[in-house]
Structure formats: structure tokens, C-alpha cells
Structure 1
Amino acid sequence: MSKNLIVVESPAKAKTMSKYLGKEFVALASYGHVRDLVPKQGAIDTENAFAMKYALIEKNKKHVDAIEKAVKNAEALYLATDPDREGEAISWHLYEILKERGVLDSKPVHRVEFYEITKNAIQQAIREPRELSQNLINAQQARRALDYLVGFNLSPLLWKKVRRGLSAGRVQSPALRLIVEREEEIERFVPREYWTIESDLAARGKDFAARLTHFQGEKLEQFTIGEAGHADRVEAELNRAAQGRLKVATVEKKQRRRNPAPPFTTSTLQQEASRKLGFSAQRTMRTAQSLYEGVDIGGEVVGLISYMRTDSVNLANEAVIEIRDVIKDRFGVDNLPDEPQLYKSKSKNAQEAHEAIRPTSAARTPESIKKHLKPEQYKLYELIWKRTVACQMVPALLDTVSVDLEAGAGNVFRATGSHIVKPGFMAVYQEGTDEAPEDEDEKMLPPLEAGDTVDLKQIRKEQHFTEPPPRYTEASLVKALEAYGIGRPSTYATIIDTLEKRGYVTLDKRRFTPTDVGRVVNKFLSEHFHNYVDYEFTARMEDDLDAISRGEKEWRPLLKDFWVEFKGQVSEKETVERPGVEMLEENCPKCGKKLAKRLGRNGYFIGCTGYPDCDYTRNVDEAAGASNEPEILEGRMCPKCGSQLIVKRGRYGKFIGCSGYPKCRHMEPLEKPEDTGVQCPECKQATMLKRKSRYGKIFYSCARYPDCKYAVWNLPLAEPCPKCGWPILTIKTTKRRGTEKVCPQKECGFSEPHDEATPN
């Protein structure tokens, strides 16, 4: 018993810890959570002080057993799971399991926490252990209990009232509400016309433009010129008054400072990685986790960034000193402020004792370790490094000029220009925007003074229409969730992933659109459980959880207050009518009963209220009275049995099928499959076609099907596998690993990163 046991969450982190702690320690991984509420109703005894029934997570049993075995031979146990509420709970659950198994005896148990996986940080944490924090544990238990009580009571109600397989959540449902309400706002939006007037000018050999701000003494607002006729009259009057020349009335010169953005928090990292790198929140957090846990950079495993779940913008003093040295060496002393830049979090509950996300060593530049990193790791590390260094640089200085030019009495055009005098931090990094970025190029005006005249080349009128608010991107949704206090930044990736997996939203061109199912679920919850999808309620609950973690509130009274009202509301709503059904003033062409618009698994359809006696259905976009009778394809015969081919309609839309069904089950897609141009590697007689399964899933199969049944789920690439020589590779994208080239031969296992855009 000469070694200490230290337990972390992941094997990658355990490997890094072993390198730093030497022979005195054995490092093992719990592989995440080790215990959770039993997966059934009754896991929380609401009648007995909310006692919670936990069970070992089966897939992690072998890892817990290994930890138990190692504890028996250890002098002391160090619990080094992540430094947050969830990490505290994992340590506590592991402690409780080991205590129940009787292997701790009188052995010392220490809780250690660190915010970067570096040798100094870990050794200091070992020297300064603490006890498990019951406040943090209680806050996490309260969060888990709330999520369980909401999910296990609302989800079955959705199964009854909408359809099976749906779910509701304390944080997920308000996030869905945001997306649905934005879509409804877009649908209600009525575009409004307005016109602007600009002049193209020239002075001292330089062309520039100016916009009309005042006409006949009246200041122009957005809708002052609201239709084409008015714009024509204004244009004619300006041309008459100007007579080909404009006079400079005033010239105003200013110098403006632009300050750098603060270092990254979890939320701002997710937003910027989405804007600049196109990363999903899940991909950002997965990649950041790998950088935090440690990467082999030439024989040395190093944690490259500090802990990536944080809402603080603080930087450690020693980190700031190193960053300032890097700025002085790489960018010159002129770009180094006299004093370090200090930032304050906008979140009232930010853990200011924590740090922002930063490189563990600013001296470790992105280019110096690029060859050791995967492409996505390098991109994210470079983003974090640049933002961190830039936040400690001097502000950018810009000279701005504003010139008012007169075209006759009371008619004023304004021209503005700016140029960067000193780039400062902008030489390293500029923060992105959710929508179209502003033009950062320098826009210089010619040197002008009051009283000068300039040549008028032309006056232009331009028509515009107001636009609806944009749909949420991942970046803008994360920003909205944080602004409303919905959930915590560490949960945003999971929230977004759940909404997509449940089929509540779709992501098209990187923007969220609610599905029919998502709309119905949101409508049901908003009408019948408004309190629990209310943004303020969700934010208040997060504040209460934070108060529990600080020891300012008790967790059981909080659960009791919530449960009494919530339980009554769930019971009351058992009898409400099923949502998503709209009766139509139209009779079934088959049996004469009323038709209704209903929500099915794949969206809305129109069906007979006489179901199951009458099976009439049609798509929502089909004309009234459309028949269920199949369409005959003249001259097209089944290649299998020779019977007539017909167009049939199934639950996934129209397709070509054999009229001899069910004796002959031949089917073809209605649309001609897309040819990939990649030769089938098995028969080598035809190319691979892009097809859609009866369940709507894309796959790729040989054009000679059914004679050759070779098929793959991922896009084939005409490139042989460098490992086994199979004639093709495929392009596979997963949230965990990103986009890769992989060998379709399972026994081979070859894969490598693929950076190019994946074809459709």
C-alpha cells in the first residue's frame, strides 16, 4: 500500500495525470457518471423528503469495480473530477458507492480541483485538498430532481396527448419556445417599403458617396420616403437644386477607440466557434474537452487550455504576465498597455474565483504545435489563443470623418469615412457578429474643408423593404439562452442536441426551424404549463440552484414548493383535448365522414375521422377530394413479375410500386436516383447511386440492385483505402469525431480527418 489513487472522469485525463504525478500515484477514470436515479417512476419519494433512489450505471460497473480494487491497495483516495457542480456530484456518488462496499475504512479521502491540466496546477491541487462540498452536491441533486420530476411527469402526458416518444424538459422546453416564437414572428411579419437617396460624388480625384439625411429642412426617418413616386419627386428636386455641384457645409473629425473583447467563457466560445469555424456547440465542447484533457505534443502530454466550462472572464495573474511577455515579444511594446486589462462578467452568478478559457501557456503558439493537433483541435486552439492574447493588447485607434454637403437650401447629404490609425488588438483578433458583419475595410474620404465644392456625378434612389428577424443560428440561440438565464452554458450543447434528436427543430443553412411536432408540443406546453416554459421562471430556478450551491438556500424546501403546484397542474391537464387536430369543413370522398388535419409522425396530414373503419388519407398540400386510387404508369411494367407499375402513396410520400402487391413487393423511388460516379467496389460493373430508404434515410447502393446488393450509408469516395486497399472510402460525419474519411470495411477500421465540405 505505497501508492495513492487519484480518480478523474476520462481515460485521456488519467493518462495525462499519470505523467505528472509519477510513481506515487495511480490514476484511474470513472468514465463520467457512475450513479444516477433509477430509470423508472418512483425514483424520487416526494412523500418522504424527496429521498432519491440511485443505481449504478451498468456500462460503468467495470470501471467502478476497478476503482474499488485499486482503493483496497491505496493509502489515500483523491477525487479529482471536474471543478463544477456536476463533477462534485460524480465524486460524491463514487465516494458513497465505495463507502457502501466497505473499502474506505479509515482511509483519507480528499477532493482536489484544478482548472488546467498542467504539472504545476495538479501538484498544487494535491498539496491543497479539501473536503467534498455538500452545498455543491445538494445543488446538483436539486437540479437532477427537478429535471426528473418535470421529465417523468410531462413526457408521459405528451405521449398521451401528442404522440409516443416525445419529451419535455425544464430547460429544453423554454429553448424550444424561443425558436417557435421567432418563427411565428417571422410568419406574422409584413414587409414595409422605404427608399433611400444617395449621391455619387468626386473631389480631388477621389470618388465617394453620401446619403441624403435632410430634405427641404426636414430630417429623414426610415419611412419618410415610402413609395416610388415620392422618391422620383425628391430625386428630381435634388438634381434641380444641386446643378451638378454640392457644397461642403461642415467637416467633423474624431478619433475613436475600439476595445478588445474579453477572454472566452463557455457561452462566448460556443458562439464564436459557430460564427468563425462553423462548429456546432457539441463539436466545440468535444474539441475543447480534448484540448483540456491533454494532447501529445512531441512526446509530452500537455493540457493545452484551461477548464472549458466557465462563466468567468478572469485571468490568473501568472497567465496575464506570460501573455504580456508574448505581446511584447511578438507584437512590440507599443501594443502592450501600461496595466493589464481587467474584465468583469455580466452574469450576476458568475463564479469569479474561476478563470476564463485560455491557453495553459500563451508562449505555446498555435503554429508551434499545429503538426501535433487534429484540424479541428488546431482551429479551436488558434481561436482561443488569439482571443486571449488580443484581450490584453491596447485598443485600436480609428480616425473618423463626417462631412455634411448641401444641395441647395435645406437639402443635406452626409458622407462618413474612417481608417485605422493603430490596429492594436485588431492585428490579432476581431469578434464576430451573428448577422452580416460590418465592412471593416478602411473607407477614406478625400481631404475636404467647409466651403469646398464637389462634383455631383449622379443621384441614386434605392428601394428597400424591411426584413423579418432572422431565424436563430446556434450562436444566436446560445446568446439568447444566456441572456434569458435559461440553463447554464455547459448545458447548451445538450439542449440543442436534444431538440434536434426529438424532431422538434431542423437545422437548415445553419438556422433553426421548428417542425410541426415542435410547434404542437410548444403550443401544448405554453397553453397548459405556461409557468414552466416561462423564461423568468426558468431563470429564477437557476438563481435558486446557484443559491443552494453557495449555502444560501435549502434544496428540499425548494423542491417541495415546486412539486406541490406542479403535481396539481399535471393532474388537472389529464383531461384536456388532444392538440394538433383541426376539424375541416370537408367530407371524406371515400365514406362521407368529416375530415381532420392531424399530426402524424412526419408532420401534418389529412385523414378521415372514421379511422380505423375508413383509411382515407392525403397530404396537406393535395387538392380537396383527392383520391386514394393509385396512378397508373402507362408502358411501365414491373421488372420482377411483369405486372403494371403504379404510383402509390405511403407514409413517407409517393413511390413507384407493383400493382401485384402483396405477391410482388417491387418498389422504386419516384425520383431518379442521383449518380455519384463512384464505381461499385464489389461488382465493378456499375456506379453507386444516392437513394432514400422507405424511412427517409439516405444511403448509397449499386445501380445494378437487386443483382448487386452492395450498399453503404455514407457518401462513397473514389479513393482506395491506404490500409486495406478496398477500392473506395466513405465520408462520414459524426458529432463526436467531426468529418472523416473512413473505410467501409468494418474489420479495417481506417479513418482520417476530412476537412473539405461534404457533398450533398
Structure 2
Amino acid sequence: MADKSVVVVESPAKAKTINKYLGDGFEVLASFGHVRDLPAKDGSVDPDQDFAMRWEVDVRGKKQLDAIAKAVKGAKHLYLATDPDREGEAISWHVKDELARRNVIDGMDVSRVVFHEITKKAVTEAVSHPRDLDQALIDAYLARRALDYLVGFTLSPVLWRKLPGARSAGRVQSVALRLICEREAEIEAFRPQEYWSVDALMATAAGDAFKARLTHLDGKKLDRFDLGDEAAAKRAVSMAEGQPYSVTKVERKTQKRNPAPPFTTSTLQQEASRKLGMGASRTMSVAQRLYEGIELGGETVGLITYMRTDSTSLSGEAIAGSRRAIEKIFGDNYLPDSPRVYRTKAKNAQEAHEAIRPTDLFRKPEDVARYLDKDQARLYELVWKRTMASQMESAVIDRVAVDIDSANGAATFRANGSVIKFDGFLKLYFEDVDDRQQGDGSDDDDRRLPNMTEGETPSLKDVIPEQHFTQPPPRYSEASLVKKMEELGIGRPSTYASILKVLQDRNYVLLESRRFVPEDRGRLVTAFLSSFFDRYFEYGFTADLEEQLDDVSDGRRNWQQVLRDFWDNFYKIAEHTKELTGVEVRDTIDRELGPHFFPADENGSTEAARVCPACDGGRLSLNFGRHGAFIACSNYPNCRYTRQLGEDGSEDGEDANYPKVLGPYPETGEDVSLRKGPYGLYVQVGEQLPKEKGKKAPPKPKRASLLKGMSAADVDLALALRLLALPREIGTHPESGAMITAGVGRFGPFLKHGSSYVSIPADDDVLSIGMNRAVEVIAQAGEKGKARATRSLGEHPDDGKAITQGAGRFGPYVKHGKLYASIPRDVEPESVSLEEAVRLLAEKAAKQAAKGGPVKKASAKKAGAKKSGAKKSGAKKSGAKKAKAKKAGAKKAGAKKAAAKKPAAGTD
């Protein structure tokens, strides 16, 4: 079509929906995210050439660019409609730049369009109001990408050389890790302090019971630690008992409580974590699906607006729609006189964006729930309620405080309570408070008190002392860590999910009971960076750098100057650190982490815990070996005592605590033991029998590795037997009839359904996941979670063998004997005919022959080869191939081993 227009979006799901909205005059293609990136090797960013960048198109990117280039030939207009954020702007720039290099858009009208929701109105309006690419946003992207690359590829080699076992470091990732490690250090240094409270159980003349807390004793106001032990508490009780009491003061205060603003990326992640138990990555994945569109009654509709935003504002249309919905659903009382307008507190917020909201507020959660999976339905309900509540009337709360004095003035008790006079937005939505400290009586305000007046004389029923201890600061949850990072101005909310995932993937932190616990490897990296690169991983410095990058996106700074200001000093420090000796690094980190590895005594000294248990006069300290850090004695080589990090050293020798016998194996009576191997802890049944000369090696004992997050302290016989029972059968799928099993593979816990494998979500347990949840996880996985079925297309005209069509891990295919041919993505698998299948298979066979691939058996038969001769020839070929493959495999293994020394550097 000569007058067609081409639209480029990021995802194929979005492409299908938008194509329906725009009609026949448009062809919508997906870039599948970025089409090119910086190669993961030195020199991709050259500071000596004013930070010139060398971009590389990967295989997938080339495929998408080829499709886009083919589509724009003869087109009149190219619309770049990638996501409406800085990253989306960069993707559009990459696509345009690569097409320009190919000379396929010369003289063509190329425009940028953005829409914040995928609805027909939003899409068509965006296309009718195109704009140019925003160069300031592109410059900000270039600066961030170059910074992340330079930090990662400068720091990571330093870490590999000076800190064996470390994986990588990143500009923002390492600061987030520092937060987690410093919180853990606070917890370890915390010493609980005892204190007591005294409560009185009282009743009014009418018999209504209530509780009050002692606030004054002998005319003095009690501070938290004034009753510091049991003796002080008992003295207070004796002074309070046996006295008549009267109400001396009643305070009533009416307060208005306003709703929270609509969701930003950060607050959505926080609330989804607190209320739904969904991690940041999972939240963003589900939100992406709701944004891109769900099929409702035959039509694909985007249910929420774009989910990467730091703006709390709503469009005039959205505010008007929410007010109409509130009035209709809840009535006039819940509608404020004027709309609520929210202003974003975050610096450099993209106010052109909206907050995250439903695209249609009259589309209630219960109306769409049947079209959504469980997570989608819960997240949509959360977004809908928060948006609606943000425009509802304030809640009105009556708060009451009553002071009750003893007749002799020795004791004063206070009773607090509150009553919701008008629920307002609380009828729909209540924002949780995370990490509330316990034991301080802060929840007394939520009690409801009986009506009392001054001069009234309630009776004292009992006086109860209660012991408390101060609590350490809580470990960060995903919600509280995201909130802290946002408060400090570290990174950007759209990157938080990927940052938290990287920290876990690199085994720097462990998510335990939904709280982050730093691993020793993470603490070592943090100690190294804070000791030798402290300025560059300070919270203030990182936040200031973010502000500079935001200034670039606003056009107020030059992006290359920002890089120059950062790079010159950073590079000098990195070069200086390379010159440090191993002893300097070791001693510095040993001092930094000494209290962690060696418990301090009451005087704060770690020396008692450093005494070597295996020799006289030896002192334990941190050391580094080929495979990472460990504890060793200073008398080496005379004393060879060592222990791994995390071991308590209660017995002599590095592995003296292993194996640990847990109990008998029910089937054979053999010992089940916990052992330590080169890849970590595992459980085993019995012992490995020795190989007898001239006989076949005996089978290996049954073994099972501990799951991620398990520690040695968690493992007893019952848990060991459950691990050894994997993979376990859960039951047959109610629809397909295929058996569902749960197990652990090289990529983690999985469900096997028929011949398909589906990863088990991080929040589920492979040992306990049941039938209902398993079916749900498989359904959420879509096609990959279904038992793969094949259909017969007929017989091949050459040899009469069957041709089938099915779906595999690489997509739909047709199959003839051992030959597989992929079905093109633009062809519906169910529509493939026998003739088309024969053509696809012939093309595949030709490609294999051109590459020197194996000769098909059918060809050998046609050539008239004798059966015996073919067998003999095949045996020789097979042997030759086997030898050749073995040789090549050995080389490949060697290459992999060398590559393992330098994993890819961090990018954020």
C-alpha cells in the first residue's frame, strides 16, 4: 500500500491492539524493547573521544530492524510510538538512527508519538498530534547508559582481582546494597534495653470496661525507660493500687484524614508488596500486562495507564470521570465539593505523565475479574481503589484522651480512643503503615472508649505491669527499601525492580520472610567499596548525580560535561586501588567486618572470638583464597585451621561439622546426612561405595541440594526427606489429564506439565505447592504451561512418513522424522496445510545441507544404499563425529572456564 503509515511500538501484544485501533492504513510493528546496546567489552564507551559510544545490534534486534526496514519501504510516514518515558525515547532514537544508517527513511516523515493509555481515543489522538524526538531526554539516556557502563566495567575488574568471589558492582545497585548491609550492621550492634509499662483495668459506673496506661508517678511524667526493671514496675503498681480515682480531664478533638494520592511507580510497588505480597518485579510485570491490554468480550483493552511514572497528577478527564463514578457508586456524601489536585514532590517528576490509574473508572474490579488471572485482578483492584479514594471525601475521626488521677495524686493514668465519625475514603481504601514498632503502645488510639465526663469516678479493677524490650530496626522489605531509595533520591523508581532482582541474582542478598538479609559476599563488596570508593557510593553523592542527570533531561546541563566531571577523579581512584596489595585490602576489610565475623564482648572487643581453637597463640582473621573469603589462623603454615564464612567455628577444622547425621532413611535404614560440597550444602542417603577393580562403578547415593534461602540450621530429617523426594507428583491436570510434578532443575524450582516446564514463582514453595496453585501457575504461564499436543497433517509425498505440527520451547513447528522446521511468526500454526509443511521442511533441509548438516536417512535410501552398507557407513560416521565432538567439547569447556573468571559487569 503506497500511502500506508508504519507505527513502531515496543511489545507485540501492544502492536496487535493498536493495529486494530488504527485500521488498514497502518502497519504496527514491535521493536521488542531495545534493538541495540553497548557491547559487553572494554572500549564500548571511549572517554578519550568525548565519551563516544559504539553501539551493537544483536541478533534479535537485527531481525526486528529488518522487519521495520522492509515495512517502511514505500510508506509515507513512520511513527515512533515506544513507551512514554526516557527509555522509550531512547528506543525510538535507536530505531530511527539505525534506519537512517540503512538509508531507508531518506525524505520520509518520521515523528514521535506518545500515549499513556492504550485506548482507541488515546492512540488516535496521539497519532494526530505527533512531535519530534526529545533530544534532551536522549542525552539524559546517553549519560546514564555511559555512566553505568563506565562504573561497571571499571569497578568489576578491580573487584575480581582484589576481592575473589565478588561478581560485579553498579552505580545504583551498590548503593542499594549498602543500605541493606548498613541496616544489618545496626541490627547486629543493637543491644535490647528493658523497660516496663503499667496498665490499669477500669470500669465506669455503668459497667463499661476500658484500659488506661500509667503516665505520671509522684507528679512526674514517666519517660519510656523510667520504669527500667521489675522492681520499679512493682513499686509503681503498689502506689497505684488501693486508691479511688476520678476523671480530671477529657480532651476531644475532631480530625480530618485525607486520602493518599494516586499511584506512582514507587508507591504501587510499595503497596503491592505490603498488601498483596508481590515483589517489585512481579508487580511491574503484571502492571505491564494490564497496560498493554486484556481481552474483554472479544476486544483487547488497556485497563490501566502507563505504569512507569513519578507523577501523582490526574488529567482533567480522569478527575471528572472519577467524580461521576464516586457520585454514582457511593453517593453525594462521599464526593468533595471540589476536585483534589495532587502535586508531585519528587524532583524532576515527569508531570506530562499521569499517575497510574484505570483507563475507565466505571470499569469496576468485579466487572473485569473473570477476564483476569489472580494477580492481575488483585493489582487492578488496588489501582482502581487507590484512584477512586484519592478523589473521595476526607474521613472524619473523633479522638478522645481521658486523664484519670488517684485521690492522693500519686498516679495518673491516660486512656486514649478514637471513633470514625464519617468514613469517607476509608470506606474504600486504607493505606497500610509498614515497619511499625511494637511495644510502645502506639496502637492505643485505635481503641473505642466509653463516654466519660470530668469528675466521674471509675472503679479500679486491676493494675497490670508488663515487661518490654526495645526492638532493633527492622530489616528492609521490598516496600520499605523502595521507599528509602526514593526518599534519598537514589536511582529512579522505574529501575528499582531490576536493581533488587540483580542483588538477589548475584547472591549479594537473600529475601527471607519478605525481608532482605545481606549475604557475606554482599557485605564484603560493600565493605570494599565503602573503604576504597566511599565518595562515589555515598547516598548524597549518588542523589546529587541523579539531579545532574535530571538537569540533562531538562536541557539545563551538557551530558558530556556531567560525565567528564565524574570520570576524571573516579578513574584516578580506580587506578590507585589496582595498586593496593592483597594484604592492604584484606586488613582493611577485616577491620571493617570484624564485629560481623567475630562477635564482640561486652566491651566491644572482638579479640576473644579471634583466638584460634587449634593452636596456641594464633589469631583468626579474614583471608582471601582462589574461591573467595574465609577465616584463617595467623600461624599459617604451622597451623592450617580454616573455616568458611558463616560457620560458628565451634569444632576444629574447616569441614569438621560435616557430615551431620540427621536420622535413618525410612526405606533402607541408611543414614541421611547433611554434607558440604564445592557447590554448597546438600543431603545424602548412605555412603558412596568404593569401586572394585574390574567391576562397574556402583551407583551414586541419592542426593538433593538445599533450596535457595535454606540454611544448615533449617535442615532436620523431615525436611531432608522432603528434599530427597523431589521431583514429586502433585496430581493430574483437571483439563489436560497430564501429570503435574514439582522439582528443582538447573534453572530453579519448576512444575512439569506433560512435556512442558514452568518456573515456580519465587513466592511459592516447591515442597508444599498444591494442586490448585499448580494449575493456577500453569494457566498464568499461558501456552508454555500447556501439555504440548501435536496434530497430524498427513504423509510426506516422498517417503510416506507422517508429518506433524506441534509447539516446542522455541515456538510452533512442523516435524518429519527427525527434521524440525519452525513455523513463521506471522503464520497461525493451526492454519498450516500439508503442502506448506512440505515446503517448510524442504527449505530447512536445504539450509542444513548448505551448512554441512547431517544427511537424512531418506536420502541415503533413495541413493540406493544397501541396508548393511548404510549401517556400516553410519557407524563409522557416528564414531568420527563422536570423536570430533568430544575434542570440540573439550575446547568449549575450556573457553567457558576462562570466561567464568570475568562475568558481565553490572549496569546500574
- In the superposition, the TM-score normalised over structure 2's length comes to 0.73
Change (3 A) 1:449 1:625: closer
Match of 2:486 among 477, 482, 485: 482
Change (3 A) 1:271 1:754: closer
Q: In structure 2, what is the equivalent of residue 718 of structure 1?
A: 730
Find out whether 1:727 has 2:739 as its counterpart.
yes
Tell me, in whole angstroms, the C-alpha distance in 2 between the residues paired with 1:690 and 1:728: 22
Determine if contact 1:657/1:666 at 8 Å carries over to the other structure.
no
Determine if contact 1:312/1:352 at 8 Å carries over to the other structure.
yes
Where do 1:387-398 residues align within 5 Å?
387-398=386-397
Determine if contact 2:641/2:653 at 8 Å carries over to the other structure.
no
The alignment partner of 1:47 has SS state of: helix
Tell me, in whole angstroms, the C-alpha distance in 2 between the residues paired with 1:349 and 1:633: 57
Match of 2:476 among 472, 496, 500: 472
Q: In structure 1, what is the equivalent of residue 173 of structure 2?
A: 172
Q: In structure 2, what is the equivalent of residue 258 of structure 1?
A: 257
Tell me, in whole angstroms, the C-alpha distance in 2 between the residues paired with 1:671 and 1:554: 56
* Matched letter for residue 159 of structure 1: W
Where do 1:395-406 residues align within 5 Å?
395-406=394-405
Q: In structure 2, what is the equivalent of residue 650 of structure 1?
A: 677
Q: In structure 2, what is the equivalent of residue 521 of structure 1?
A: 525
Tell me, in whole angstroms, the C-alpha distance in 1 between the residues paired with 2:375 and 2:22: 29
TM-superposed CA distance for 1:440, in Å, is 10
TM-superposed CA distance for 1:644, in Å, is 12
TM-superposed CA distance for 1:192, in Å, is 0.9
TM-superposed CA distance for 1:58, in Å, is 2.2
Q: Quick check: 458-467 or 574-583, which moved more? A: 574-583
Change (3 A) 1:649 1:149: closer
TM-superposed CA distance for 1:657, in Å, is 3.8
Change (3 A) 1:257 1:63: same
Find out whether 1:332 has 2:336 as its counterpart.
no
Change (3 A) 1:278 1:267: same
Cα offsets for 1:25-56 (capped at 9, x unmatched)? 11100000011112210011111111110010
Tell me, in whole angstroms, the C-alpha distance in 2 between the residues paired with 1:752 and 1:173: 28
Change (3 A) 1:319 1:66: same
TM-superposed CA distance for 1:433, in Å, is 1.5
Change (3 A) 1:628 1:139: closer
Q: In structure 2, what is the equivalent of residue 681 of structure 1?
A: none
Determine if contact 2:357/2:384 at 8 Å carries over to the other structure.
yes
Find out whether 1:429 has 2:456 as its counterpart.
no
Find out whether 1:494 has 2:521 as its counterpart.
no
TM-superposed CA distance for 1:670, in Å, is 8.9
The alignment partner of 1:261 has SS state of: coil
Q: In structure 1, what is the equivalent of residue 234 of structure 2?
A: 232
Tell me, in whole angstroms, the C-alpha distance in 1 between the residues paired with 2:706 and 2:130: 63
Q: In structure 2, what is the equivalent of residue 360 of structure 1?
A: 359
Q: In structure 2, what is the equivalent of residue 59 of structure 1?
A: 60
TM-superposed CA distance for 1:374, in Å, is 1.1
Find out whether 1:745 has 2:754 as its counterpart.
yes
Find out whether 1:33 has 2:43 as its counterpart.
no
Q: In structure 2, what is the equivalent of residue 188 of structure 1?
A: 189
Find out whether 1:445 has 2:449 as its counterpart.
yes
Change (3 A) 1:3 1:132: same
Tell me, in whole angstroms, the C-alpha distance in 1 between the residues paired with 2:177 and 2:543: 15
TM-superposed CA distance for 1:613, in Å, is 12
Cα offsets for 1:551-599 (capped at 9, x unmatched)? 100011111111110110000001224445759664977x999975446
> Percent of aligned positions with the same letter in both sequences?
46
* Matched letter for residue 229 of structure 2: E
* Matched letter for residue 449 of structure 1: T
Q: Quick check: 526-535 or 159-168, which moved more? A: 159-168
TM-superposed CA distance for 1:717, in Å, is 4.6
Q: In structure 2, what is the equivalent of residue 220 of structure 1?
A: 222
TM-superposed CA distance for 1:252, in Å, is 1.4
Q: Quick check: 618-627 or 372-381, which moved more? A: 618-627
The alignment partner of 1:658 has SS state of: coil
TM-superposed CA distance for 1:616, in Å, is 6.7
Number of residues of Structure 1 aligned to a counterpart in Structure 2 = 716
Find out whether 1:290 has 2:289 as its counterpart.
yes
Cα offsets for 1:149-197 (capped at 9, x unmatched)? 0000001111111125611101001100100000001111111111111
Q: In structure 1, what is the equivalent of residue 509 of structure 2?
A: 505
Q: Quick check: 157-166 or 716-725, which moved more? A: 716-725
Q: In structure 2, what is the equivalent of residue 705 of structure 1?
A: none
TM-superposed CA distance for 1:131, in Å, is 0.6
* Matched letter for residue 145 of structure 2: R
Where do 1:76-91 residues align within 5 Å?
76-91=77-92
The alignment partner of 2:275 has SS state of: helix
TM-superposed CA distance for 1:667, in Å, is 5.2
Match of 2:551 among 543, 547, 551: 547
Tell me, in whole angstroms, the C-alpha distance in 1 between the residues paired with 2:618 and 2:761: 58
TM-superposed CA distance for 1:605, in Å, is 3.8
The alignment partner of 2:76 has SS state of: strand
Tell me, in whole angstroms, the C-alpha distance in 1 between the residues paired with 2:538 and 2:47: 24
Structure 2: tracts of 5 or more residues without a match: 595-609, 708-717, 769-908
Tell me, in whole angstroms, the C-alpha distance in 2 between the residues paired with 1:252 and 1:630: 63
Determine if contact 1:238/1:411 at 8 Å carries over to the other structure.
yes
Where do 1:573-584 residues align within 5 Å?
573-578=577-582, 579=585
Change (3 A) 1:673 1:603: closer
Q: In structure 2, what is the equivalent of residue 680 of structure 1?
A: none
Q: Quick check: 545-554 or 597-606, which moved more? A: 597-606
Tell me, in whole angstroms, the C-alpha distance in 1 between the residues paired with 2:762 and 2:659: 46
Q: In structure 2, what is the equivalent of residue 343 of structure 1?
A: 342
Change (3 A) 1:238 1:539: same
Determine if contact 1:15/1:27 at 8 Å carries over to the other structure.
yes
TM-superposed CA distance for 1:134, in Å, is 0.9
Tell me, in whole angstroms, the C-alpha distance in 2 between the residues paired with 1:313 and 1:419: 30
TM-superposed CA distance for 1:622, in Å, is 3.5
The alignment partner of 1:551 has SS state of: coil
TM-superposed CA distance for 1:615, in Å, is 8.2
* Matched letter for residue 120 of structure 1: K
* Matched letter for residue 412 of structure 1: T
The alignment partner of 1:545 has SS state of: helix
* Matched letter for residue 208 of structure 2: K
Where do 1:85-234 residues align within 5 Å?
85-164=86-165, 166-203=167-204, 204-234=206-236
Determine if contact 2:417/2:445 at 8 Å carries over to the other structure.
no
Tell me, in whole angstroms, the C-alpha distance in 2 between the residues paired with 1:553 and 1:282: 32
Q: In structure 1, what is the equivalent of residue 572 of structure 2?
A: 568
Change (3 A) 1:758 1:249: farther
Change (3 A) 1:58 1:460: same
Tell me, in whole angstroms, the C-alpha distance in 2 between the residues paired with 1:630 and 1:477: 36
Determine if contact 1:182/1:469 at 8 Å carries over to the other structure.
yes
Q: Quick check: 200-209 or 473-482, which moved more? A: 200-209
Q: In structure 1, what is the equivalent of residue 603 of structure 2?
A: none
TM-superposed CA distance for 1:280, in Å, is 0.3
Determine if contact 2:171/2:537 at 8 Å carries over to the other structure.
yes
- In the superposition, the TM-score normalised over structure 1's length comes to 0.87
The alignment partner of 1:74 has SS state of: coil
Q: Radius of gyration: which is bigger?
A: 2
Determine if contact 1:520/1:580 at 8 Å carries over to the other structure.
no
Q: In structure 1, what is the equivalent of residue 19 of structure 2?
A: 18
Q: In structure 2, what is the equivalent of residue 379 of structure 1?
A: 378
Match of 1:626 among 650, 653, 657: 653
The alignment partner of 2:17 has SS state of: helix
Question: Which structure shows the higher strand fraction?
Answer: 1
Cα offsets for 1:102-161 (capped at 9, x unmatched)? 100101000001111111111111111001111110100000000000000001111111
Cα offsets for 1:457-499 (capped at 9, x unmatched)? 0011111111110000000000000001000000000110011
Change (3 A) 1:62 1:588: farther
* Matched letter for residue 307 of structure 1: Y
TM-superposed CA distance for 1:375, in Å, is 0.8
Find out whether 1:415 has 2:415 as its counterpart.
yes
